[in-house]
Amino acid sequence: MSESERYKAGMAVRRQVLGDAHVDRAVAQTTEFDADFQAFITEGAWGSVWSRSQFTKRERSIVTIALLAALGHDEEVAMHVRATRNTGATREDIREALLHVAVYAGVPAANHAFKIVKKAFADMDQGS
């Protein structure tokens, strides 16, 4: 399979946002079973959406964390909180996003997300 331009752009953004170590682990763990899925998220999420110029990476980070929190995707919330080291989204940005989650998606979703985010911050503060 040849790499499309969208794949190349997506991989570059994916590395900028999530970091080389994270992406290298994901690539190393890719099997024949999930190779198409990995290509899909690299082209779709990273190459088609995150590569657009209408939002900054900071803005996309805030929106992504809010959506993932509203949907209860804990591991993805934590991953994108860690990615804020690369996107410029601040802890204050994340707090505001989670307040929106409380109003528009429900207090239980936001309450749980605050727990996940606080743990991610603690891990980040300890160098993890």
- pLDDT > 90 fraction of the chain, expressed in percent and rounded: 95
Specify the fold of 55-128.
AhpD-like (1.20.1290)
Average pLDDT of span 62-85: 97
pTM higher than 0.85 for the full model? yes
Query: Mind listing the pLDDT tens digit for each residue in 23-38?
Result: 999 999 999 999 999 9
Query: Mind listing the pLDDT tens digit for each residue in 81-120?
Result: 999 999 999 999 999 999 999 999 999 999 999 999 999 9
User: Domain spans of the chain?
Assistant: 1-53, 55-128
2 has a pLDDT exceeding 70: no
Contacts 24+ apart (CB under 8 A), 62-66: 62/89, 62/93, 62/94, 62/96, 62/97, 63/97, 65/89, 65/94, 65/97, 65/98, 65/117, 66/97, 66/98, 66/100, 66/101
